[in-house]
Amino acid sequence: MNDNSITILEGDCLALLKDVASDSIDFIFTSPPYADARKKIYGGVSPEKYVDWFLPISKELLRVLKPSGTFLLNIKEKVVDGERNTYVIDLIQSLRAQGFLWTEEFIWHKKNAFPGKWSNRFRDAWERLLQFNKQRQFAMYQDTVMIHRQESTARRCDQYDPQLRLQIKSQTGSNFSNNMSAWSGREMVYPSNVLYLAVETCNRRHCAVFPERLPRWFIKLFTQENDVVLDPFCGSGTTGVVCKRLGRRFLGMEIMPEYAALAKERIFSIEKKLLE
């Protein structure tokens, strides 16, 4: 990609990816069109053909990703004929065959999914966030996404005198396993592999597939400033907006002209705000 920090390309990502240099992308975050979803827009990939449709694209993703980079795929299988279809788990196996390592599966637990009821199932309140890597060693900046402790634990620790805490810490020094000093004084703890986030509602301008906090969390976790983030199905550009705010370079691809234009507009408006 060029030096511009944010780039939106309009077109089919399979073709556009051919022009991206190998080993040049630090992080790929994308939410591709689900099978049969958005039929009018993407021509409606059927569940049976989903894997065959995706594999040529993921082959390019594997090529352009840096060895230390991460590919994060937001996806959820739909119900077909009363069953959860297997195209997602088929895809996991095919991506492994292609050379990706299936490092982890995060869960997005949707906080305010619409109440719904069907005769034989409840409303679907979670999606998969599949993490793939080229190598077992990859870039990960865990300290950037720490969270507050549970209240019950926090309450207990807060009652300790801060000075006493330091004394304990210095006294025990070598042996701080399984005692207070190991974590006393710390307000923040590491998160788990479940993200509990609200679904963003559609507004007049655009209908975001995911809330900004979702890409933000992963971009902070897997990249540093000026790293290059790729979203081959960038839609209205939420991932790009987050990159702009966080000072990451961004390469977005979108086949629909309206969405590509909207993405550019949203990012331009962020730029303007930042300059003010």
Partner DNA sequence: GTTCCGCATGAATCGATAG
Partner DNA sequence: ACTATCGATTCATGCGGAA
101 binds a copy of itself (CB under 8 A): yes
Q: How many CA atoms lie within 13 A of 30 on its CB side?
A: 25
Is 120 among the residues that bind a copy of itself (CB under 8 A)? Answer: yes
| Beta-sheet pairing, 79-80 with 65-75 | unpaired
How many other CB atoms sit within 10 Å of the CB of residue 69? 26
Q: Which two tokens stand for residue 13?
A: 């990502």
Q: Does 177 bind a copy of itself (CB under 8 A)?
A: no
Q: Which of the residues 108 through 127 are near DNA (CB under 7 A)?
A: 111-112, 114-121, 123-124, 127
Site for DNA in 67-96 (CB under 7 A): 74-76, 78-79, 82
How is residue 257 written in tokens? 């002209």
Q: Is 125 in the site for a copy of itself (CB under 8 A)?
A: yes
Determine the interface stretch with DNA among 2-10, 30-38, 54-62, 267-275 (rule: CB under 7 A).
30-38
- Give yes or no for a contact between 127 and 75, defined as CB atoms under 8 angstroms apart: yes
Interface residue with a copy of itself among 109, 186, 205, 273 (CB under 8 A) is 109
Q: Does 122 bind a copy of itself (CB under 8 A)?
A: yes
Amino acid making up residue 58 = S
Burial class (CB in 10 A: 0-12, 13-18, 19+), 212: middle
In terms of CB distance, is 24 or 90 closer to DNA? Answer: 90
- Which is nearer to a copy of itself, 78 or 265 (by Cβ)? 78
Neighbours of 2 (CB within 10 A): 7
Give residues with Cβ within 8 angstroms of 214, minimum separation 6.
74, 108, 129, 195, 197
Q: How far apart are CA 276 and CA 270, in angstroms?
A: 10
Q: Which of 18, 111, 205, 273 binds a copy of itself (CB under 8 A)?
A: 111
Whether 188 and 148 have beta carbons less than 8 Å apart is answered as: yes
Contacts of residue 18, defined as CB under 8 A and 6 or more positions apart, other chains included, come to 60
- Of residues 33, 47, 215, 240, which one binds DNA by CB under 7 A? 33
Q: 204-233 mask for a copy of itself (x: CB under 8 A)? A: ---------x---x----------------
Q: Which is nearer to DNA, 235 or 237 (CB)?
A: 235
Contact, 127 vs 111, CB < 8 A?
no
Indicate the Cα dihedral angle 3, 215, 24, 263, nearest 10°.
-40
Residues near a copy of itself, by CB under 8 A: 81-84, 86, 89-90, 92-93, 96, 101-105, 107, 109-113, 115-117, 119-126, 136-138, 140, 142, 147-148, 150-153, 157-162, 165, 169, 189-198, 213, 217
Residues near DNA, by CB under 7 A: 31-34, 37-38, 74-76, 78-79, 82, 111-112, 114-121, 123-124, 127, 149-150, 152-153, 155-156, 159-160, 176-180, 182-183, 186, 189-190, 198-204, 207, 209, 235
